[in-house]
Amino acid sequence: MSRIDLAGRTNALETAAREGSGRLDPALLDEARAMVTRARERGGLSAEHTVVALAGATGSGKSSLFNAVAGTDLARTGVRRPTTAHAMAAVWGPGAGPLLDWLDVPTRHEMPAGPVPDEPAPVRGGVGGLFRRQRTPAGITTGLVLLDLPDHDSVVVEHRVRAERLVERADLLVWVVDPQKYADAALHERYLRPLAGRADVVVLALNQADRLAPDDAAAMVADLERLVAEDGLAGARVLPVSAATGQGVDQLRGLLAEAAQRREAATTRLALDERAVAERFVAACGQTPPERAGERARSGLLAALEDAAGVPTVVDAVRTSARRDAHAATGWPVTRWLGRLRADPLRRLGLRPDEVRVPTDRTDLARTSLPSARPSVRAAAATAVRTYVEQVTVGAPDPWVLAARRRAQEGIDRLPDALDQAVAGTRLAAGRRPAWWRVVDVLQWLLLAAAVAGLLWLGAAFALAYFRLPPLPTPVLTVGGAAWGGQGAGLDVPWATVLVAGGVVAGVLLAAVSRLCAAVGARRRAGRARRRLRESVGRVADGLVRGPVADELAALARCRAAAHIAAS
C-alpha cells in the first residue's frame, strides 16, 4: 500500500471527525478538529523553516543552552526564577515572519547564515554569570527557527500556557532536563507521555553534564533512555550536554542543522500528531460487525413485524375469501347463494380490492379495519427492533449503539400506522378471475338447464296424464340388458329423468371437484398475498428501522475507514 501524504492524512482525519460528530467523545472531536486546523495553517506557512523549541523546567539551564546553540548572548539567564516569561526566537534565513506571527513569538533575532570566521562573542553561561569566549556556531546555514520557551513548570500560569501552546506547534522538540529533575513525574506524565509515538521529533538534552563523572553521566543517560522508552518514546535521541563547557553542544547543533537542511520535521511532526489522534479514533470506533449479522437479524425483525401488522389474519382472510369467491362462481347454482350469507372476511377487514378507494398520491390515507395488535404483540415487535439493533451493532462503540437505538426508537413509535398503511396498500387478490371459473360456471348452468328441462318435461307429462290428455312422446334410454351385454330386457329410463338426475348429480360432483381446486387455488393466492405483505412490511422495516440504523452504521464505517487511513 502506498504511503499517504500529509494532505491525505489530514483529509482522512477531518472525515473521521465529521462522521463521528455527535457520537464520539467531544474532547476527542475537538482535538481532531484543532489538529486539522493546525496542520493546514502550518502547511500554509514557510516550508523553508524548521521550528525547534527548547522546552524545560525551571532551573534546567534551557536559556543557557539556547545561547550556546545560537552562539551569542540572546536569552537572559540568572538565578531569579522564572527567568523566561515570553518565548524568544533565533532565526536563520529570511521569510519566517508569518510563521513567527502564527507562533505568537514577538521577540526575534536574525542570525547570520553559514559558517563565519572565528570571532570572540561573549556568551553568558553558568550560574555565576561568568563569560566565556565562543565563536559563532558553524553548521547552521539557513531555515532554522530556534525558540526558547517559558518554563513549563513556571509558577505563573500564563507562562505555562505559552509554553504548552508552542510545544504543540513546534516542528522539533528539545526537552532540556537536568540531573536533579530528569525523572520528575510531572515531566513524564504531563508532557512526554502525551508525545508517545513521536520519538522522531523529540530530543532529550541532559544539561549540566559537566557536573557529573563520566560513569555517572553514562548511567544517567541510560536511565533517561529507559524512562522515555516507558513513555512511548523509544528511539528518541538523548544527549548529555553542558551549556557551561560546550560539551555536546556541537552535536546538538549538528542535529538541528541537519533537521533544518532536510526540511522534513514539520511534516513529520504533523503526521505523527495526526496518527496519534487517528489511533484514538480507531480505538473508539470498535470492531466491524459480522457480515451476516444483519441478514439474520432482519429475518427475526420481519417475523415480529408481520405479527404486529396482522399478516397471519390477513392471509387467512385472503384464503377464506378466495374459497368463498370460487364457490360463488363454480358451486352448484341451486345452493351457491347460501355462501353469500357468510360475510367476506376481506370486506370485513376493509381490504376488498374492489372497495379500496384511495388516491394514488395519498397512500397515507389508506386504513384497514384490522383489530389493534395485542399489547403482547406490540411489545414483541418493540423487542424485535431492539434485538435487531443489538445484533447489527455488535462490536460498535457505545455512542454509536446509543445513536442507533435512538433512531430505532423513533421508528417504533411510528410502526403501527406505517404497518397498517402498508397492509392497506398491498394488492392481495388477483385482478382477474381464473378462466376455469368461467368454464365451470357455464357447465354448471348448462347442467342446471338440463335438469330444469327434464323437470319441465316430467311435469308436462304428469299434467297431461292427470287431465287424461294424449301423452307426450317419451324417448327412453335403455340401461342394462342386451344393450350392456346382459341377458333379458334392459331398463328403459325416460330421457327426462336422465336429464334431471344427470344434471343434479353432475352439478353436485362438479361443484365438489371445483371446491377442491378452489382450496388449492386459495392456498396459492394466500401464498402470493403473504409474499406481497412481507415485501410491504419489509419496506416499512427498511424505512423506519433498518434504514436509520444502517445510516448510523454507514457513518461508523466511514469514520472507521477514515481513521484507519489517517492512522496508517
- Distance (Å, whole) CA 283 – CA 28: 12
Phi and psi of 203, rounded to 5°?
Answer: -125, 135
Question: Given this model, what pLDDT does residue 114 score?
Answer: 57
- Name 4's Cβ contacts closer than 8 Å, sequence gap at least 6: 12, 565, 566, 568
- Distance (Å, whole) CA 398 – CA 409: 16
- On whether the CB atoms of residues 180 and 61 are closer than 8 A, the answer is no
Q: Alpha carbon of 215 to those of 36, 221, 229, 238, 362: distances in Å?
A: 46, 10, 21, 16, 90
Positive or negative, the CA dihedral 554, 556, 559, 562 is negative
Answer yes or no: do 249 and 269 share one domain: no
pTM for the whole structure: 0.70
Question: Given this model, what pLDDT does residue 134 score?
Answer: 37
- Distance (Å, whole) CA 540 – CA 384: 14
Instruction: Using the structure block, give the residue that is written with the C-alpha cell 405483505.
Output: 533
Answer yes or no: do 226 and 279 share one domain: no
Q: Would you say how long the chain is, in residues?
A: 568
- Domain holding 302, by residue range, is 287-568
- Distance (Å, whole) CA 453 – CA 507: 14
DSSP 16-34: HHHHTTTTS-HHHHHHHHH
Phi and psi of 379, rounded to 5°?
Answer: -65, -40
Question: Given this model, what pLDDT does residue 535 score?
Answer: 85
Give the residue from 81, 2, 20 showing the smallest Cα distance to 399.
Answer: 20
Answer yes or no: do 271 and 388 share one domain: no
Question: Given this model, what pLDDT does residue 34 score?
Answer: 93
Looking only at the bridges linking them, the beta strands covering 476-479 and 491-494 are antiparallel
Positive or negative, the CA dihedral 375, 377, 379, 382 is negative
Element (H, E) at 51: strand 50-56
Side-chain half-sphere CA neighbours of 439 within 13 A? 5
- Per-residue pLDDT of the chain in tens (568 residues, 90 and over written 9): 456 788 999 999 999 999 988 888 899 999 999 999 999 999 888 888 999 999 888 888 888 888 888 888 887 665 444 456 678 898 998 888 999 999 989 888 888 865 543 443 443 333 222 223 334 455 687 889 999 888 877 767 788 888 889 989 999 999 998 888 888 888 888 888 988 888 899 999 999 888 888 888 899 999 989 999 999 989 889 999 988 888 989 999 888 888 888 888 889 899 999 999 999 999 888 877 666 666 777 777 888 888 877 788 888 877 887 888 888 888 888 877 776 667 777 677 667 655 444 444 444 434 455 555 556 666 777 888 888 888 888 878 888 888 888 888 887 777 777 777 777 777 776 667 788 888 888 888 888 888 888 888 888 888 888 887 887 787 877 776 554 455 555 677 888 888 888 888 888 898 888 889 888 888 888 888 888 888 888 888 888 888 888 888 888 889 989 999 999 8
360 three-state secondary structure: coil
DSSP 503-542: HHHHHHHHHHHHHHHHHHHHHHHHHHHHHHHHHHHHHHHI
Each residue of 65-113: pLDDT tens digit? 888 888 888 876 654 444 566 788 989 988 889 999 999 898 888 888 6
- Name 464's Cβ contacts closer than 8 Å, sequence gap at least 6: 470, 471, 472
Answer yes or no: do 403 and 535 share one domain: yes
- Name 416's Cβ contacts closer than 8 Å, sequence gap at least 6: 308, 372, 373, 378
- 3-state DSSP helix/strand/coil percent for the chain, to nearest 5? 60, 10, 30
Please count the structural domains in the chain. 3
- Work out the burial of residue 490: count CB atoms within 10 Å of its CB; fewer than 13 is exposed, 13-18 middle, 19 or more buried: middle
Q: Facing residues of 163 across strands?
A: none
Question: Given this model, what pLDDT does residue 374 score?
Answer: 54
The angle formed by the CA atoms of residues 184, 185 and 191, to the nearest 5 degrees, is: 95
Answer yes or no: do 169 and 138 share one domain: yes
- On whether the CB atoms of residues 51 and 143 are closer than 8 A, the answer is no
Answer yes or no: do 169 and 188 share one domain: yes
- Name 338's Cβ contacts closer than 8 Å, sequence gap at least 6: none
Question: Given this model, what pLDDT does residue 202 score?
Answer: 92
395: left (phi over 0), alpha (psi -120 to 50) or beta: left
Question: Given this model, what pLDDT does residue 364 score?
Answer: 46
Answer yes or no: do 207 and 318 share one domain: no
Answer yes or no: do 111 and 163 share one domain: yes
Answer yes or no: do 41 and 53 share one domain: no
Question: Given this model, what pLDDT does residue 330 score?
Answer: 81
- Distance (Å, whole) CA 115 – CA 254: 13
Answer yes or no: do 537 and 522 share one domain: yes
Answer yes or no: do 304 and 418 share one domain: yes
Each residue of 504-563: pLDDT tens digit? 888 889 888 888 988 888 888 888 888 888 888 888 888 888 888 888 888 888 998 999
Question: Given this model, what pLDDT does residue 51 score?
Answer: 92
Answer yes or no: do 403 and 552 share one domain: yes
